[in-house]
Every structure is written in structure tokens, then in C-alpha cells.
């Protein structure tokens, strides 16, 4: 509102970095992120089949179409080619169960774009990560469908319709290990993605690869992923099921939406703090919340809500952790 | 004279609609609008309380010491609501049970105190009565509009009657406060847009 | 105007306090007056509602008498003999406490129950209050009150998909009531 008009009147220009912007730079970043996500998404399609592919397609299509419609109605420039709607659609689909009815996916995607992105002011002005808002809205609207997972063959004689985290929440750690037939089998399944879960969350190896690629291209920095995942590992190790220091940090680091959330959603430059110190605070806060929800909360998984809650706090963090004014301060 | 009295009544319906324009009393708009029955009942209750309170405040406006006027107005509102509670408890127990704790909460609805302070304390009896009534009507209309949308989308029913049939898989977000918040946000936006357009048209006409 | 006139006046604390006190006094008098007339009716209504809800649970009882020594317990009588007990139970649900009122027969079998207070997810957890879910409990006794997810298990209580916590809370609350009755009657 007033900051927008001030920018127009050239009185005082406020924006997040990078400060030198050109349309194609935003586009380049977006498409690189999409490339980083494709391996894990492809694995999801390979492992879960046609419905996973259709869900991804529907989600992306719904996101792009709703963005087009909203921008037409608002009589502003149509920016569907900048890739941001595609990313939101793709990320949302990767957090959904593979067999979710397609109309739900479409509605969730539209909600993410229309409500979380454009009603909040459009790209660069949104407070919350749109994909996660879409997922939260779907979770609240159709809780049964959103927790109906694909039945997967865990081992030769065990079949499960629940994700590892929900087994952990409802039946305990020992049942979880028993289900997979031992700790090594559990870790292997978590690493490679041969287990039940959302379309794009399961293959740890490919997600981490994508994240490392983004770090290599300087699109994200290591601070948020490392601090968030690290915090979860430490806290879940300390507050283990059988007393202090009996937790399984390796399992928790790979479980649920933590990897995809930490690398691709918590790092979203619009909704995360500007400074490195702020980002660390953000990541640790998110990690603490994830651990709290996983260990004590009613839901088996809490990455989506943790990141959204920290998104609320980002403006506050930015206020107190001021960026160093260019030209002042210690040398490097 | 008649024209301006009509204005006093009608402004509460759209231009100064308590929920959609003044953004007052959003709590009940979120909490009791998951069904048309509760939304309508709450709307009518509030309409009764605002009108009655405006009448009382207008009657005593010269007797109230301005230093304690807010406290006196609140006392008046609390008395009216308590009387409503007692009456319902004795003569309409089912309705009383349905309203539950929300009946007592009517005391703190901002719109009632606001009208007392802004209008009834400075105007004569009949205009105050009309102002309260108009605000009450506007409030009830907004409550019903919100409830209708929430109940149809979130439950597939209206006043308990199935509209969409058994197969309708309702998005539960609509019967939860989160959905209500988003809905009310868009409704406020729509009303604002309408009022802005109206103002622009009037300016063009005057120019 | 008269408002400006007031601005210049200086009020003493006494005047201010008196003004408010009188307002409160008048309010008090009006309320107590109305209360005096409406309260007896209100009490009768509350009793009637309670009897009505109890009758919905135990349809063929003649009368309901409070049980001595146990608050909120009622004995349903038919022909002068106690045929069932109406007993409250409580457990922690998804959104806070779930309170139930259970009608238990003399042999410790569940006749029916109703949920008196709960704050569960509308449209999901609230399914636990409806006939489809409740009918599972009819005729069951305390030891079969376990929640299961196995659709083929008809002996225990089937959880509602997506509302396991609520299902468990209701079952625990009902079990608490049934066990209390068993203890009271010294029964099996």
C-alpha cells in the first residue's frame, strides 16, 4: 500500500536483495530451481505412477491458469512466464499424497496462487510461502484425503498404507523399525525413497542433490537448510522416546517434508529474512517447531506449519537483525 | 427531514455496514456463522441489543457524567444482555442452549458500544432508535450472507437441508474460522470496490 | 450546545462516582427483579431438558432419580426398580476434554451415550457423535471397548478415518463411565 505508492513517487525505495534486477534474472533463478526439483519429482512419478504425474501436471496448470486470470482481472501485467507460478504448482504437488483427487489439487493450487500470492500483493510481497499455504488449506479442508497414502511394499512380507512418520506417531519407534525389518533397511528406504509418502518428498538423495546444485549456483546459501535440518536432528536426538539422548536423528532428518522444506521452501527469498544471521534464527526456529510438532503435537508431521509460522516472524527478525549498511562496518 | 431520517437508518445497511465496512464485531462473524441458523439468531439478538441500548443511551444522555460515560454505557449493555439471557432461559430454553456462551459475549461486541458513543449519546430518541435498527439490520444481513456461503460450501446444506446430495465432499476449511476469515476478507474487498465505484460515479456526475 | 457546556464544568470525584454507582444500582434492581420472576421457570426448563436428554438414552424408563453420593449420576427406574445408570465420563480429545453421558444397564452393558461437551474438528471428529459411530457401542461391555483400525474387527470399536484421536477419546470416556458403574454395583 503506502510503500508501493512511495516507490512510485520515488521518495524511498525499499526492496529485498538482489537490488539490481532485470526480468530475465528472476526468470533464470526460477527455472534453475525447477531444474533442481525435477530429479526428485521424476522419481515420484516413477515410483508412484500415473496419478502422481497427473497431479503434478494439474497443480502446475491450475497455478499458471489462476495467475493468468487474476492478473487479467486486476488489469496488471501477466507474468506467468517468470516461472514463479510453475514453481508453486510443482512444489505443492510434491507435498501431496500421490492419489489425491485431482480437483482437490487444482483447488489447492489455485488457493495458493490467488490467496497466498496475489491477494497478499503478488510476487515479492507475499508473507507466506504460497505452496505451503496451499498444502495447509488442503489439509484443513480434506483431512481424510490428505492423509490417505499409497500402499507400498516395505519388505517381502510387510505392506503399509501409512507414512513412516505416522507410524511413529501412532505406534511408536519400535513398531516403525519392525515394520521395515531393521534399522539399516529403514535408513535405506528413507534415503532412496522406497516408501510411502508425498510425491516429491521421499527421495532424500535426489532432493539433496537438487539442493546442492542450488547452493553451487549461489541461488540459496547453506545457512537455512543446514541449521533447520541440524536443529531437528539435535532436538529429536535429545528428546528421544526412551529418555534423553535416545532419539534417532538420522531417521528424523530424512523423514517427511523436512529435506524438501529446508532446501526449497524455507529458503524462498521473499519469505525468509534478508541477513545471514536472521536466516539462521529463522531456520533454528523452524527446526524447533518441526521437532515440537513431531514429538509432542497432534500431527505426525509439522514442516509445513513450522515454516509458515516462521514466515510470520520474518518481518520481526528483519527488524531486529539489521543488514549492514553498505560501506560501513568491519572490513573483510 | 424524512429523507435524512431514512439516511440515518439505511447507512448501516451498506455504506457503514458494521462487519463489511466498519470492520467491527468480526468475532461473531467468524465464530457463529458456520450455519445459517446460528448466524441469523446471533444477528437478530445483536439487532435487538443495539436498538435497545441506543434507545436507553439516548434517553439518559443528559444524565450521564461524561467522565464515566463508557462505564455507564457498558453497564447498560450488560443489563440488556442479561435481561435477554434471563428471558431466553425461562421462555426459550432450546434457543438459549444453542446460543451458548455467545449470548453473554454480545456484551463486548464493539459495534454496540461504538454506536452508543458515536451516535446515541449525541442524538435524540427516534434517530438513535433508527441508527441502532439500521446497524442491526446491516449486521444481520452480513452475518446471514457469510453463513449462507459457509454453510453451502462447507456443509452442502442450508438451514440443515441438503443441497448437493450425498456425494458432496465439502472443503472443511469453510466451516472453520480460517475459511471464514478469508471469505470475509474478500467480501470486505468486494463491498469496498462497490463503494469506490459509486463514489467515482458521483464525482463524475458532479464534475 | 449542551456538550460544550459540560466541557467547562469541573466534576468532583464524588459526583463522578455517584453517577456510575446510581447507574449500577438501577441496573442491579432491574436485573434482580426480572431474575425473581424468570428463575423458577429457568430451573424447571433445565430439569426438563436434562430429563429429555436422559429419556433419549433410556427410552422406556419411568423416572430418573439422582444417585446419592455421586454427583451427576442418575438412576433410571422402571416400575420402581433401577434398570440403568446414567453416568458421566470424560477423556482428553483432540481439542480438549470430551465429556459423555453414558446409559449403562445393570449388567454393565452400554445402552447408549451422548456427547455433552466436546471441541473436536467439525465435519470430521464430530462424526463420532453421530448414530453411525455411536451404534457400535450399543450392547458392548467394558472389555471390548478398544479402538481398532481393522475394518474386519466388529467386536471392538472402529476408529473414524482421519479422526483416530477423537475416536480414542470418546471410547476412553465411555469406558470410564462403564467401569465406574461396574465398581458401584460391585458387578462382573
Q: Which residues of C touch B70 (CB under 8 A)?
A: none
Cα–Cα nearest to A294, from A319, A329, A261, A258: A258
Q: Residue B24 CA to chain centroid, in angstroms?
A: 8
Phi-psi category of residue A181: left, alpha or beta, with phi > 0 → left and psi -120 to 50 → alpha = left
Rounded-to-integer distance, Cα C22 and Cα C42, Å: 29
Whether the per-residue pLDDT at A247 is higher than 90: the answer is no
> What per-residue confidence (pLDDT) applies to A114?
95
Whether the per-residue pLDDT at B177 is higher than 60: the answer is yes
Residues 6+ apart with CB under 8 A from C79: C62
Q: Which residues of A touch C121 (CB under 8 A)?
A: 143
Rounded-to-integer distance, Cα B63 and Cα A99, Å: 69
Is the CB of A298 less than 8 angstroms away from the CB of C124? no
Is the CB of A107 less than 8 angstroms away from the CB of B171? yes
Please name the member of A119, A137, A142 whose beta carbon is closest to the beta carbon of B169. A142
Cα–Cα nearest to C27, from B84, B72, B103: B72
Instruction: Give chain C's residues under pLDDT 70.
Output: 1-9, 122-123, 187-188
Rounded-to-integer distance, Cα B3 and Cα B37, Å: 34
The residue among B109 and A322 whose pLDDT is bigger is: B109
Please, which pLDDT band fits residue A129 given cuts at 50, 70 and 90? very high
Sheet holding C81-93, edge to edge: C63-66, C74-78, C81-93, C96-105, C110-117
Other beta carbons within 10 Å of C122: 15
Residues 6+ apart with CB under 8 A from C102: C57, C86, C87, C88, C89, C110, C112, C113, C174, C177, C178
Q: Which residues of C touch A298 (CB under 8 A)?
A: 94, 165
Provide mean pLDDT across the span A260-289. 92
- CA-based nearest distance C100→chain A, Å: 22
Cα–Cα nearest to B148, from B37, B13, B20: B37
DSSP annotation string for C36-73: HHHHHHHHHHHHHHHHHHHHHHSTT-SEEEEPTTSTT-
Residue B172 in contact with partner chain A when CB distance is under 8 A: yes
Residues 6+ apart with CB under 8 A from C28: none
Phi, psi of C9 (to 5 degrees): -75, 140
DSSP annotation string for A71-83: HHHTT----GGGS
Provide mean pLDDT across the span A195-205. 87
Residues 6+ apart with CB under 8 A from C46: B93
**Helix extents (H) in C104-163:** 131-134
Is the CB of B171 less than 8 angstroms away from the CB of A115? no
Other beta carbons within 10 Å of A154: 20
Rounded-to-integer distance, Cα A136 and Cα A125, Å: 20
Whether the per-residue pLDDT at A73 is higher than 60: the answer is yes
> What per-residue confidence (pLDDT) applies to C1?
45
Residues 6+ apart with CB under 8 A from B166: none
Per-residue pLDDT tens over the stretch B29-59: 888 888 888 888 889 989 999 999 999 999 9
> What per-residue confidence (pLDDT) applies to A286?
95
> What per-residue confidence (pLDDT) applies to A62?
96
Q: Which residues of B touch A107 (CB under 8 A)?
A: 171
Give whole-number Cα distances, B96 to A191, B179, C4, C100, C187, in Å. 58, 27, 44, 21, 40
> Strands, DSSP E only, in chain B?
157-158, 161-162
Contact yes or no for B130/B23 (Cβ under 8 A): no
Average pLDDT, chain A: 86
Q: Are strands C157-158 and C147-148 parallel, antiparallel or unpaired?
A: parallel
Contact yes or no for C61/C119 (Cβ under 8 A): no
Contact yes or no for A68/A215 (Cβ under 8 A): no
CA A92, A97, A99, A100 dihedral sign is: negative
Provide mean pLDDT across the span B77-101. 85
Contact yes or no for A234/A277 (Cβ under 8 A): no
Q: Find the helix or strand (DSSP H, E) in which A253 lies.
A: helix A249-254
Please name the member of A147, A170, A298 whose beta carbon is closest to the beta carbon of C162. A147
Residues B132-153 as b or e (16 or more Cβ within 10 Å = b): bbbbbbbbbbbbbbbbbbbbbb
Contact yes or no for A90/A201 (Cβ under 8 A): no
C 2-41 → A contacts, CB under 8 A? none
Whether the per-residue pLDDT at A102 is higher than 90: the answer is yes
Rounded-to-integer distance, Cα C103 and Cα C178, Å: 8
Rounded-to-integer distance, Cα B159 and Cα B166, Å: 16
Whether the per-residue pLDDT at A4 is higher than 50: the answer is yes
> What per-residue confidence (pLDDT) applies to A163?
84
Residue to substitute from B150, B172, B174, B188, interface A, most A β-carbons within 10 A: B172
Is the CB of C94 less than 8 angstroms away from the CB of A298? yes
Residues 6+ apart with CB under 8 A from A285: A306, A310, A313
Q: Which residues of C touch A147 (CB under 8 A)?
A: 162
Count of pairs with CB atoms under 8 A, one residue in B, one in C? 75
Contact yes or no for B35/B147 (Cβ under 8 A): yes
Residues 6+ apart with CB under 8 A from B4: none
Per-residue pLDDT tens over the stretch A139-173: 989 988 888 888 777 655 566 677 888 888 877 88
Bond into B134 cis (ω within 30): no
Residues of C engaging B, defined by a Cβ cutoff of 8 Å:
2-3, 6, 11, 15-16, 19-20, 23-24, 27, 30-31, 34-35, 37-39, 41-42, 45-46, 48-49, 121-124
Residue B74 in contact with partner chain C when CB distance is under 8 A: no
> What per-residue confidence (pLDDT) applies to A158?
61
Amino acid at each position: 500500500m503506502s510503500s508501493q505508492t512511495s516507490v512510485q513517487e520515488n521518495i524511498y525505495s525499499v526492496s529485498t536483495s538482489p537490488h539490481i534486477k532485470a526480468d530475465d534474472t528472476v526468470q533464470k533463478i526460477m527455472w534453475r530451481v525447477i531444474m533442481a526439483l525435477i530429479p526428485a519429482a521424476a522419481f515420484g512419478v516413477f515410483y508412484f505412477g500415473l496419478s502422481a504425474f497427473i497431479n503434478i501436471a494439474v497443480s502446475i496448470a491450475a497455478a499458471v491458469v489462476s495467475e493468468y486470470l487474476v492478473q487479467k482481472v486486476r488489469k496488471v501485467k501477466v507474468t506467468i512466464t517468470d516461472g514463479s507460478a510453475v514453481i508453486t504448482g510443482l512444489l505443492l504437488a510434491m507435498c501431496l499424497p500421490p492419489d489425491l483427487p485431482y480437483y482437490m489439487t487444482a483447488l489447492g493450487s489455485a488457493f495458493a496462487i490467488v490467496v497466498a500470492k496475489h491477494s497478499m500483493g503478488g510476487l515479492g510481497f507475499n508473507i507466506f510461502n504460497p505452496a505451503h499455504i496451499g498444502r495447509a488449506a488442503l489439509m484443513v479442508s480434506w483431512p481424510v484425503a490428505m492423509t490417505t497414502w499409497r500402499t507400498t511394499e516395505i519388505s517381502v512380507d510387510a505392506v503399509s498404507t501409512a507414512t513412516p512418520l505416522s507410524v511413529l506417531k501412532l505406534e511408536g519407534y519400535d513398531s516403525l523399525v519392525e515394520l521395515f525389518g531393521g534399522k539399516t533397511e529403514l535408513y535405506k528406504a528413507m534415503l532412496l525413497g522406497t516408501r510411502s509418502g508425498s510425491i516429491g518428498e521421499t527421495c532424500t538423495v535426489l532432493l539433496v542433490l537438487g539442493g546442492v546444485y542450488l547452493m553451487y549456483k549461489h541461488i540459496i546459501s547453506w545457512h537455512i537448510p543446514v541449521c533447520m535440518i541440524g536443529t531437528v536432528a539435535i532436538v529429536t536426538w535429545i528428546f528421544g522416546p526412551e529418555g534423553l539422548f535416545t532419539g534417532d536423528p538420522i531417521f528424523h532428518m530424512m523423514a517427511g517434508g523436512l529435506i524438501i522444506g529446508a532446501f526449497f521452501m524455507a529458503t524462498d527469498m521473499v519469505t525468509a529474512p534478508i541477513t545471514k544471521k536472521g536466516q539462521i534464527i529463522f531456520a533454528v526456529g523452524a527446526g524447533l517447531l518441526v521437532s515440537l510438532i513431531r514429538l509432542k503435537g497432534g500431527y505426525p508431521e509439522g514442516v509445513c506449519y513450522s515454516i509458515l509460522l516462521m514466515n510470520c516472524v520474518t518481518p520481526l527478525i528483519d527488524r531486529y537483525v539489521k543488514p549492514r549498511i553498505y560501506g560501513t562496518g568491519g572490513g573483510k | 427531514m424524512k429523507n435524512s431520517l431514512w439516511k440515518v437508518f439505511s447507512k448501516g445497511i451498506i455504506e457503514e455496514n458494521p462487519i463489511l465496512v466498519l470492520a467491527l464485531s468480526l468475532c461473531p462473524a467468524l465464530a457463529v456463522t458456520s450455519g445459517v441458523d446460528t448466524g441469523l439468531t446471533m444477528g437478530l439478538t445483536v439487532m435487538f441489543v443495539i436498538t435497545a441500548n441506543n434507545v436507553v443511551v439516548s434517553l439518559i444522555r443528559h444524565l450521564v457524567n461524561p467522565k464515566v460515560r463508557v462505564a455507564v454505557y457498558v453497564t447498560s449493555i450488560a443489563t440488556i444482555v442479561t435481561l435477554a439471557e434471563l428471558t431466553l432461559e425461562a421462555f426459550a430454553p432450546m434457543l438459549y442452549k444453542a446460543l451458548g456462551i455467545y449470548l453473554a459475549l454480545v456484551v463486548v461486541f464493539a459495534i454496540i458500544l461504538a454506536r452508543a458513543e458515536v451516535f446515541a449519546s449525541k442524538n435524540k430518541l427516534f434517530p438513535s432508535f433508527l441508527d441502532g435498527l439500521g446497524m442491526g439490520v446491516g449486521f444481520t444481513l452480513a452475518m446471514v450472507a457469510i453463513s449462507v456461503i459457509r454453510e453451502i460450501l462447507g456443509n452442502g446444506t442450508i438451514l440443515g437441508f441438503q443441497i448437493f446430495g450425498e456425494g458432496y465432499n465439502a472443503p472443511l476449511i469453510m466451516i472453520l474460522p480460517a475459511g471464514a476469515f478469508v471469505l470475509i476478507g474478500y467480501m470486505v474487498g468486494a463491498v469496498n470496490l462497490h463503494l469506490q465505484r459509486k463514489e467515482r460515479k458521483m464525482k463524475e456526475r458532479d464534475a | 450546545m449542551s456538550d460544550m457546556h459540560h466541557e467547562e464544568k469541573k466534576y468532583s470525584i464524588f459526583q463522578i462516582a455517584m453517577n456510575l454507582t446510581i447507574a449500577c444500582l438501577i441496573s442491579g434492581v432491574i436485573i434482580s427483579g426480572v431474575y425473581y420472576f424468570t428463575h423458577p421457570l429457568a430451573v424447571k426448563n433445565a430439569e426438563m431438558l436434562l430429563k429429555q436428554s436422559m429419556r433419549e438414552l433410556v427410552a422406556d424408563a419411568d423416572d430418573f432419580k439422582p444417585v446419592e453420593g455421586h454427583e451427576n449420576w442418575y438412576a433410571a427406574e422402571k416400575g420402581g426398580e433401577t434398570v440403568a445408570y446414567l453416568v458421566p465420563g470424560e477423556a482428553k480429545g483432540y481439542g480438549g476434554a470430551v465429556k459423555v453421558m453414558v446409559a449403562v444397564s445393570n449388567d454393565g452393558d452400554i445402552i447408549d451415550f451422548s456427547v455433552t461437551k466436546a471441541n473436536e474438528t467439525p465435519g470430521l471428529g464430530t462424526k463420532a457423535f453421530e448414530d453411525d459411530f455411536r451404534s457400535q457401542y450399543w450392547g458392548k461391555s467394558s472389555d471390548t471397548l478398544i479402538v481398532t483400525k481393522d475394518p474386519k474387527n466388529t467386536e471392538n470399536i472402529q476408529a473414524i478415518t482421519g479422526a483416530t484421536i477423537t475416536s480414542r477419546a470418546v471410547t476412553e470416556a465411555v469406558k470410564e463411565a462403564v467401569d465406574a458403574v461396574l465398581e458401584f454395583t460391585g458387578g462382573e
